[in-house]
Every structure is written in structure tokens, then in C-alpha cells.
Structure 1
Amino acid sequence: MKTKAIRLYGKEDLRLEEFELPKIKEDEILAKVVSDSICMSSYKAAKQGPDHKRIPDNVNENPVIIGHEFAGEIIEVGAKWQHKFKPGQKYSIQPAIYYEDGPLGVLSAPGYSYQNIGGDATYVIIPNDVLVQDCLLTYNGPGFYPASLAEPLSCVIGAMHANYHTKPGSYAHQMEIVDGGKMAILAGVGPMGLAAINYVVNRKDRKPSLLVITDIDQTRLDRAAEIFPEKWAQEKGIELIYINTGNIENPVEKLKEISGGGYNDVFVFAPVAPVVEQADAILAHDGCLNFFAGPSNPEFSAKLNFYNVHYAYTHIAGTSGGNNDDMVEALACMSQGLDPAGLITHIGGLNTVAETTLNLPSIPGGKKLIYTHKNLPLVAISDFEERGKTEPFYAELAKLVARTKGLWNVDAEKYLLEHAPEI
């Protein structure tokens, strides 16, 4: 089986190549990749090359396939795994496999460490390393792109599960957000913030009674409110409020007024010191501040009120990614109808991956979704209508996304897969 893939040879050295995959062993699986979401982690890996902890030192001689937020279809199953997987099943992969016998031991990960598996490819071989860790996850929902976004959604899910609270007189931590409590998500209308709103409101087992979303960009706030209206949340038992803190003289005072004194769970979705300090200031007694946004500056810091840490039991949590259970939950949520399309802002083909990955920080918007069998430019969904004036393909895509308030959807994906040129 031949595959086309984006392979990393060294720092900023990404190449689109075609090569022959070896015949699968009895403990491996041959799979087709349909979609991959480009992650900032891939940018970091491409920039650092072998200096990256998950990239092998000999990558110049044995290049690896990049991309780790991918989904597709199982083609052939080795004898060892035929009791569990079947051709035709849709799948996603938890890339943080922590397998001691991988190329880099516990640091091994698809999309970083392997020659024959990564998201930016047409076909891959799923190794035993992934399978023995239960990191190949089947997906039974509509389309393919939701499964590609299971990994970023799992990060949101993991953050919610990582929050904790205490009980007076006990040192035991009670994990999770406060059911029926008050929650704030600061700087919360970027793509990951939209995913968080979607997940929090749609949860069945545990949710806040009040959810306040802040930002300083009114356009983005208006867009979030259009996608996730306050009335929609109200119907699900949550009072949802959007606040532009850039237009308020004393945001802390206003936010505390809305909550009646403070918030049980506060999430910070931007690595900005004043936002962190604002989050700390609005915590209720035993409130948990979750610093969700990963800073690139290793010296990043902010002031915190340690009087409240001592006397009001305020505390901090933080996560980096989701675990396997979070991925399973993400896929289950999407199989039951949760659509993570709010994360996606651009669509492209495998031919755009190298340039997009190396320039990712300078490309505005959210997730760049790649259809690996297609030859397409990277185009913002918001530009479909304009391009459609001269290109019928984008005119049809514009009509399809208009049905879902400008969001990518299963019908648009189906049309693309049927009509876009092959790579």
C-alpha cells in the first residue's frame, strides 16, 4: 500500500512524499486517514525537530509522519486484534500512548515519533504500541471531522474533571466542578472556549447553574452568542451570560455582582497575567481557578491573593491535554450529537500542511482541518462565499455552511469528500 504523507526530516524541514508502507504484522492495523486537525504542538515539533522531546534524534535518516488529531477508517486488521476491530470501522487515536517499548519509550507518540503513523497521511499503519494501550478508539457518530477534534475536546473535558473542591474539616479533595454551582470562563470565545461552552451546557451528569463567558472582543462575543444563544442554555437549565469586560470600569466588581459574591469554578483561556489576576479575584470560598491556557513563556507569572488561599481555601488547577478516558468521553459526546465544529475555521488539503504547520501562529482563527486525500488550498470558512463568486465548489460549500450559522458540518464534509480534487 502506497501512502502520501508529510514527513519531518529536521528543523522546519517538512516534505510531502509518497512511499510504500510495509505489509502489516499480525499485531498491527492498516488504516485510511480522512481528516487531521493541525495542532500548535505540530508547529512546535516542526520548529524544534530532533530537539523536541518526542522527535527521534535520527529523524534526518528515518523521517516521521506529523499530525496527531486524526480520524479515518480501518482497512485491514492483523490477526491479534481481529477480535476487537473490523474493517470499515471509523476511528480516532489518543496520541499520548505512554508505551515503554515505543521508539522513545514513554515519550513516544503518533505524529511525532513514528515512521508509519501520523495524521497527515493518506494511509498509516497503527502499531501494537497504540493498540495495547487501548489508544485506538472507535467512533460511531456522523462524519469524520468530529473524531479529529476528539483530542482537543478531550482537553476541555479533562480540565473540567481536574477541578477540585474541599469539604470543611476534611483534607479529601472532591474532584470535578461544582454541580449546580457558578462558573466563569475568561477569554472564553476563542475556538477552545466555544468547545468548552458546548460541552458544559450539553453535559448530562454535572453542570453549573450559572455560566459567565467573558472577552474583550465584542465581535467574537456576538459570534459566540449567535452559535450558542443564552436561550439555548436556559432550555438546558443554565443561565448563560456573555460579558465584554473591556467595556466595564471595574470588571471584578461586576462579575462578582452577577454571581452574588463569587464563582466556584473559574477557567482562564488566555495566558494573560491580568486575566489570571481577575480570575483569582472573583473566586468564591473554596473556589478553584483552572489555568487552561498554556503559555509559551516559561517565565509567565501573575499575582495571586494568598490571604484567600489561606482563609478562603481558594486553589489552582491546570491540565495539559486530556487522558484516554477524556478521549472516550469526547467521542461518546459526539456520537450522541455534540458537534465540535465551532473549533474549525479553515479547510485545506494535504498539499497545504507543510506551509500551514510552519506558519501556524501567524494564521488567525481556530483549527485548520485537513482532508488528507484532497488537493485544496487552505481557505477560511468565512471566505467560502467570496471564493464562490468564481469557483462553484466553494459556492456550494458556502450554501452548506450557511445552514449551520457558518460552521463546518457533516453535509459540507460529505460534499467535499465527493467533489474536491484528489492529492
Structure 2
Amino acid sequence: MKTRAVRLYGKKDLRLEEFELPAIKDDEILAKVVSDSLCMSSYKASSQGADHKRIPDNVAEYPIIIGHEFSGELLEVGSKWADKFKAGDKFSIQPALYYENGPVGILSAPGYSYPYIGGDATYVIIPNEVMEQDCLLVYHGEGYYPASLSEPLSCVIGAMHANYHTTPGSYQHKMEIVDGGKMAILAGVGPMGLAAINFVLRREEVKPSLLVVTDIDQSRLDRAASIYTVEFAASRGIDLKYVNTGKMENPVEELKAISGGTGFDDVFVFAPVRPVVEQGDAILAFDGCLNFFAGPDNPNFSAMLNFYNVHYAYTHIVGTSGGNKDDMVEALEIMSKGLDPAGLVTHIGGLNAVAEATNNLPHIPGGKKLIYTHVEMPLTPISDFAKLGETDGFFRVLAEICDRHNGLWSVEAETYLLSNHPSLQKR
């Protein structure tokens, strides 16, 4: 079977190509990819090429398919896995394969390390090790984009689980955020910050009583507040506050005041910016945990940390990069109970838009860029649909659908796109 895919050959060298997939082996699965969400990690992979820890050294000769936040449908299941999966199953994949003897070591992952599997492709071959690690997950929900976004959601779920707290006199760490505690999400209205807000508000167990979300972009704060409202948070027992620290004379003191003077039990930093990291450290409560979620490009990135408080106030720091299989299962489960990740998505595009968008991702405003791999479509902001609809009937209907969903993407919008996009009608 032929596939079209965006392949990485070296630093910033992404190419959309068509090539033949080999016949699957008994321990492999052939799958159709429907949607993929572009991730900043793919930008980093493209920028670093073979210097990236997950990219094979021989990528110039044996290119890999990029994209790791994807969903689709299984087409052909090898005999080894026929008792667990079947053709027609919808799927998502946890790309972090924690195993010891893979083709490029413990860090190998779909979307970084393999020639025949990645999210930015029309068809892929899922290798045996994905199933061996239980990282191929059947998705039972509606649509496809929620399954794509289950991967980034799993990352913030993992971050919540990775925080820890202590009891003076004991050496047992209590994993998780403080239930009923005070939480701050700094630089928190980008795509991953929005995912964290969404998850915190939807959790049934272990949630803060106070959630403060900061940023310096008022328009992004306003958008977040319109999607994840203070009123809804209150109905969940959470006092949610959106704060523009750019308008504060002394952000540390004013944030502490919002906490009631105690500081915050759990602080999540969603931007690799030194002043933000140091602000997070400064607002920690006694036994507070700072989670540095944002992965920096610069391997020498550093910030000041108050070691007096480390010693006397029991403050501590963790860093998380991605979730695991259990986090992914939890993401899919909470989606089945009503969590819709559509608020993360601001742009829609086709496979033809992937290379340029990935290589310029930090410079494209907005949230998640959602790709439909069988569609030919420029990367287009959802906010532009109405204007485009003035002269294009397809976008007019798509804009009307999004308007019915508070300006957000939806399963209804996805279904319409996959049934009516002009590029599909030409085939």
C-alpha cells in the first residue's frame, strides 16, 4: 500500500513524500491515520535532527515519519494480535515506549524514531513493540480528534501525578497534588496550559480548592476564561482566577496575597522563561512542589532557585515530559465522561501544511494545530472560517457549525470536513 507522509531527513529538512509500505508481518498492524495534532516536540525534533535524543543517527539515509499525537482506524491486524485488535477499531497511541532493547534504545517513539509509523501520514505500520508495551489503545468515543489530543492530555495528567509532598519526620513522599490545596498554573493559557485547566476542572478526585491561572496576554486569558469559566469551576468546588501578571507591579507579592498569604502547594510552569520559573519558586508554600513542565530548547537553560526554602521550607521541584500508558488510559476515560479537548484547537489543516507549520510552530499564534492527513488544506485559523465563508460555501457551513459550538472545533465540524472537503471530492 502506498502512503503519503512527512518525513524528517535532517535539521529542518521535512519532506512530504509518497512511498510504498512493505507488507505487514504477523506481529504488525496496518492502520489508517485520520488526525494528528502538531506538537512543539516535533518542532524540536526537526530543529535538532539527528542530535535529538529520539532521532536515529542515520536519519539522513533512513528518514522517519514525524507526528506522535494521532488517531485513526486499524485496517489489517497481524495474526499475533488478532485476539486483541480487529480491523475497524479506532485507536490512539501512547508514543512513549518505555522498553530497554528497542531499535534506538529506551527513548525510541513513534513520530521520532520509525520509518513506517508517525502521525503525519495517511497509512502506517504499527510495529510489534507498540503492542508489546500495551501502547496501542482502542478508542471508543466519537470522532477522531479527541483521541489525537489524548496524548497531550496524558502529559498534563502525568504532571499532576508526578507532583509530590512530604511529612516532616518521614521519608515517604505523597505523590499527587494536594487535594483541596492551592494551585497556580503559570504562563497557563497556551495549548498545554488549557489542557491542564480542563483536566483540573473535570477531575472527580484530588483537585485544588483554589486555581490561579496566569499569563501576560489578556486576549489569551479572555479566551481561556470564556471556555473554562469561573462559574463552571465554582460548580466543581474550585475557586478559579485568571490573572494578568503583566499588569502587576509585584507579581510575587500579589499572587501570594491571592493565596491568602500562604503561597501555593502546587505550581506548574508552562513556559521555559527564567522570570516565570523564578516567580513560581517564589510563590511556593511550605512543602510546595514546583513542576517545570515546559521543555526548553536550550540545553543550558537555568534559573535561580531559593535553596534556603529548599532546606527550611521543604520546597521541591520536579519536571515531567510526557505521560505514560496509564495516563493515556485515564485521558481516554475522562473524555468518555464528558471532557472535550476542543478548546485546545485553534487551527485546522491538511497533510500539505505540516512541514512548514512544524518548522515554524513557535511563531504561529494560537493553540493546537490539528491536521487531517487525507485532506489538502492550508493551515487555517478557526477564527478565519467565517471570512472565508463569504466566498466559499464549504467554509460558510464549517463556520456555522463552529459557531454552534462556542467557536470551537467539534465532532460535528470534523464529520462535516471529512465528508465534504473539496480535496476529498476530487478522489
AA matched with 1:416 = L
- Offset at residue 101 of structure 1 (A): 4.2
1:113-172 deviations in Å (ceiling 9; x for gaps): 212111111111111011101110111112101111111111111110111000122011
Contact 2:44 2:297 in 1 (8 A): no
Q: In structure 2, how many angstroms separate the alpha carbons of the residues matched to 1:411 and 1:365?
A: 22
Give the aligned partner of residue 20 of structure 1. 20
Give the aligned partner of residue 138 of structure 1. 138
Contact 1:183 1:264 in 2 (8 A): yes
Q: Does 1:348 align with 2:349?
A: yes
Give the aligned partner of residue 293 of structure 1. 294
CA-atom RMSD, angstroms? 1.5
Q: How many residues are paired up?
A: 423
Q: Which TM-score applies when normalising by structure 1? A: 0.96
Give the aligned partner of residue 196 of structure 1. 196
Q: Does 1:5 align with 2:15?
A: no
Q: In structure 2, how many angstroms separate the alpha carbons of the residues matched to 1:100 and 1:285?
A: 38
Q: In structure 2, how many angstroms separate the alpha carbons of the residues matched to 1:59 and 1:306?
A: 42
Query: Are residues 59 and 284 of structure 1, via their aligned partners in 2, closer, same or farther at CA, if it must alter by over 3 Å?
Result: closer
Unaligned runs of 5+ in 2: none
Contact 2:96 2:322 in 1 (8 A): no
Give the aligned partner of residue 45 of structure 1. 45
Query: Are residues 257 and 31 of structure 1, via their aligned partners in 2, closer, same or farther at CA, if it must alter by over 3 Å?
Result: same
Q: In structure 2, how many angstroms separate the alpha carbons of the residues matched to 1:316 and 1:58?
A: 36
Contact 1:178 1:207 in 2 (8 A): yes
Give the aligned partner of residue 373 of structure 2. 372
1:330-381 deviations in Å (ceiling 9; x for gaps): 1111122211112211110111112212222222222211100111111011
Give the aligned partner of residue 236 of structure 1. 236
Please give the residue correspondences for 1:205-220 in structure 2 after superposition, counting only pairs within 5 Å: 205-220=205-220
Q: In structure 2, how many angstroms separate the alpha carbons of the residues matched to 1:116 and 1:194?
A: 32
Runs (4+) off by over 6 Å:
none
Q: In structure 1, how many angstroms separate the alpha carbons of the residues matched to 2:51 and 2:330?
A: 33
- Offset at residue 391 of structure 1 (A): 1.2
Query: Are residues 253 and 358 of structure 1, via their aligned partners in 2, closer, same or farther at CA, if it must alter by over 3 Å?
Result: closer
Q: In structure 2, how many angstroms separate the alpha carbons of the residues matched to 1:160 and 1:54?
A: 24
Unaligned runs of 5+ in 1: none
Q: In structure 2, how many angstroms separate the alpha carbons of the residues matched to 1:11 and 1:255?
A: 41
Q: Which TM-score applies when normalising by structure 2? A: 0.95
Q: In structure 1, how many angstroms separate the alpha carbons of the residues matched to 2:15 and 2:25?
A: 27
Please give the residue correspondences for 1:111-126 in structure 2 after superposition, counting only pairs within 5 Å: 111-126=111-126
Please give the residue correspondences for 1:169-184 in structure 2 after superposition, counting only pairs within 5 Å: 169-184=169-184
Q: In structure 2, how many angstroms separate the alpha carbons of the residues matched to 1:114 and 1:280?
A: 39
Q: Does 1:163 align with 2:163?
A: yes
In structure 2, the residue corresponding to 1:347 is in which secondary structure? strand
Q: Does 1:382 align with 2:387?
A: no
- Offset at residue 60 of structure 1 (A): 3.0
Q: In structure 2, how many angstroms separate the alpha carbons of the residues matched to 1:187 and 1:51?
A: 28
Give aligned-pair identity as a percent. Answer: 74
Q: In structure 2, how many angstroms separate the alpha carbons of the residues matched to 1:354 and 1:266?
A: 34
Q: Does 1:61 align with 2:77?
A: no
1:366-423 deviations in Å (ceiling 9; x for gaps): 2211100111111011111111111111111111111222211111101000011238
